[in-house]
């Protein structure tokens, strides 16, 4: 199986999931702000459709990218090609089954994984099949491994563990105490996000190595320091979500201490600011680099927000408000999706640079629209969250609708900006989907 072919199917599906997530996001936001319960799809259906499609866009694109780049590191064919094909069918088939369940209002799971829990079984099996292929490939890579291989491996291992953990509620003992139940739910979800970040940030480092040609970068002690910091955060940095629970206090202390390690990342970003600026001037012509650059700016903004949210006092105002949504959207669109789009355009560039050159101006235009819209979208959510958070004590005596009415102007801006994000990111996804449809055997001018 050729390198390009390895990931083509899963990458194309991932782009379809992204387009679907954007459409459901627009629809869900419309019902949330302006609509009523008499819509074709109720909010309890379109919200999980939006969230799941976004999660599966991220996971599928990350898997497709990692397998493509891994296969590029070894010149031989994929060791278990049939397992990879089986993975693709099982993965995509289960995701479609999940979407159908939501369309027919069949639930049973919990936040972010609301589908009937039986569907977790094929998802986990599919993940194991992909993992077998991944570890069989990296065995053929020359040692010592670069940092991105460590990151990818950690992502594969810990996603499997965290996904299992997110299903522990199926055992009655785990769900019989709400404090334990919600704590484990946040713990598992935090580690799941940490795991896909490992796959995506690893991809980002791989891409920077290829774009800059600096092969030392992935072997430096500094890179490994940040890898282990990331791994520690994957394992333990979920606790700030549970400050508001009447759980044991030591959970809060450990969570607080771990969260504060994010300052190291923030200081490091500020320290390397001048180098990043020089780097940006040098590589800005490169389309995949543009997406990586955007992800770094979003990383900085979201890191500042995350540090505030990790301080218990501020957390008591931000938790359960649109500030949490701003952080989730800022990271999944601004960081994850930017890196993954960069990765997909890098793969396209490797296989059909002429096609990419022809679309260059259009891609740059859409890149600006996505990022400017996302900034307005993100700020509108933060403002809405601040108003809701500060109105917190009123909630006992005030009707929910009264508090909601105060934030509608900000949510209208959020919706308008969200339209811009969906239009531009959707257009980029559609463009990449069309280019990936081809096997590049045809002359580029026919594309």
Site for other proteins in 239-298 (CB under 8 A): 241, 243-249, 251-254, 256
41 belongs to the binding site for other proteins (CB under 8 A): no
Which tokens in the block code for residue 60?
């599928």
Site for other proteins in 206-235 (CB under 8 A): 221, 224, 228, 231-232, 235
Query: Which of 79, 122, 160, 320 touches other proteins (CB under 8 A)?
Result: 320
How far apart are the two ends of the chain, measured CA to CA in Å? Answer: 23
Region binding other proteins by CB under 8 A among candidate stretches 67-75, 77-85, 123-131, 321-329: 321-329
Least distance CB 331 / other proteins (angstroms): 17
Query: Which of 79, 312, 420, 444 touches other proteins (CB under 8 A)?
Result: 312
Count of other CB atoms within 10 angstroms of residue 376: 16
Nearest to other proteins of 189, 331 (CB atom):
189
Count of other CB atoms within 10 angstroms of residue 54: 24
Least distance CB 358 / other proteins (angstroms): 42
Nearest to other proteins of 185, 343 (CB atom):
185
Angstrom distances, CA of residue 167 to CA of 105, 232, 270: 20, 22, 39
DSSP state, 163? H
Query: Which of 5, 215, 284, 316 touches other proteins (CB under 8 A)?
Result: 316
Least distance CB 54 / other proteins (angstroms): 14
Nearest to other proteins of 130, 407 (CB atom):
407
386 belongs to the binding site for other proteins (CB under 8 A): no
Selection from 440, 209, 203 nearest residue 342 by Cα: 203
* Cβ–Cβ under 8 Å, residues 175 and 169: yes
Which region holds residue 213: left if phi is over 0, alpha if psi is between -120 and 50, else beta?
left
77 belongs to the binding site for other proteins (CB under 8 A): no
42 contacts: CB under 8 Å, gap ≥ 6: 31, 105
Least distance CB 231 / other proteins (angstroms): 6
Site for other proteins in 393-422 (CB under 8 A): 393, 395-397, 400
Nearest to other proteins of 23, 325 (CB atom):
325
Please tell me the distance from the alpha carbon of residue 84 to that of residue 259, in angstroms, as a whole number: 37
Which tokens in the block code for residue 330?
């800022």
DSSP state, 330? I
Nearest to other proteins of 8, 319 (CB atom):
319
Site for other proteins in 110-169 (CB under 8 A): 110-111, 114, 143-145, 150, 154, 165, 168
Please tell me the distance from the alpha carbon of residue 77 to that of residue 224, in angstroms, as a whole number: 29
């Amino acid at each position: 199986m050729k390198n390009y072919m390895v990931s083509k199917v899963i990458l194309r599906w991932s782009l379809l999931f992204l387009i679907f997530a954007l459409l459901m996001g627009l629809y869900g936001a419309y019902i949330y702000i302006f609509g009523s319960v008499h819509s074709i799809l109720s909010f309890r259906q379109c919200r999980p459709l939006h969230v799941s499609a976004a999660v599966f866009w991220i996971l599928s694109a990350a898997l497709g990218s990692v397998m493509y780049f891994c296969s590029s590191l070894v010149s031989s064919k994929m060791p278990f090609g049939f397992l990879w094909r089986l993975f693709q069918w099982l993965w995509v088939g289960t995701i479609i089954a999940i979407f159908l369940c939501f369309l027919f209002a069949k639930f049973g799971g919990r936040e972010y994984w609301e589908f009937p829990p039986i569907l977790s079984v094929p998802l986990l099996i599919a993940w194991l099949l992909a993992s077998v292929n991944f570890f069989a490939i990296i065995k053929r890579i020359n040692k010592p491994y670069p940092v991105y291989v460590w990151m990818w491996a950690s992502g594969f291992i810990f996603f499997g563990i965290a996904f299992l953990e997110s299903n522990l509620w199926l055992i009655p003992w785990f769900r019989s105490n709400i404090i334990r139940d919600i704590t484990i739910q946040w713990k598992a979800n935090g580690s799941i996000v940490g795991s896909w970040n490992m796959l995506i940030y690893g991809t980002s480092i791989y891409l920077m190595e290829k774009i800059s040609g600096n092969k030392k970068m992935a072997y430096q002690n500094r890179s490994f320091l940040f890898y282990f910091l990331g791994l520690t955060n994957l394992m333990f940095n979920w606790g700030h979500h549970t400050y508001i629970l009447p759980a044991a206090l030591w959970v809060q202390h450990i969570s607080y201490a771990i969260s504060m390690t994010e300052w190291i990342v923030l200081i490091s970003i500020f320290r390397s600011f001048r180098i990043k600026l020089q780097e940006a001037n040098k590589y800005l012509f490169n389309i995949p680099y543009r997406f990586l650059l955007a992800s770094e700016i979003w990383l900085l903004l979201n890191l500042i927000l995350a540090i505030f949210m990790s301080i218990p006092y501020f957390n008591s105002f931000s938790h359960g408000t649109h500030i949490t949504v701003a952080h989730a959207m800022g990271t999944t669109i601004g960081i994850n999706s930017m890196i993954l789009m960069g990765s997909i355009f890098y793969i396209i560039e490797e296989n059909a640079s002429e096609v990419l050159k022809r679309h260059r101006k259009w891609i740059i235009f859409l890149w600006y629209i996505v990022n400017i819209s996302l900034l307005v979208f993100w700020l509108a959510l933060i403002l809405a969250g601040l108003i809701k958070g500060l109105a917190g004590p009123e909630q006992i005596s005030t009707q929910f609708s009264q508090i909601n009415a105060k934030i509608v102007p900000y949510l209208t801006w959020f919706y308008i900006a969200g339209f811009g994000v969906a239009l531009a990111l959707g257009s980029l996804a559609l463009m990449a989907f069309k280019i990936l449809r081809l096997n590049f055997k045809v002359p580029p001018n026919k594309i």
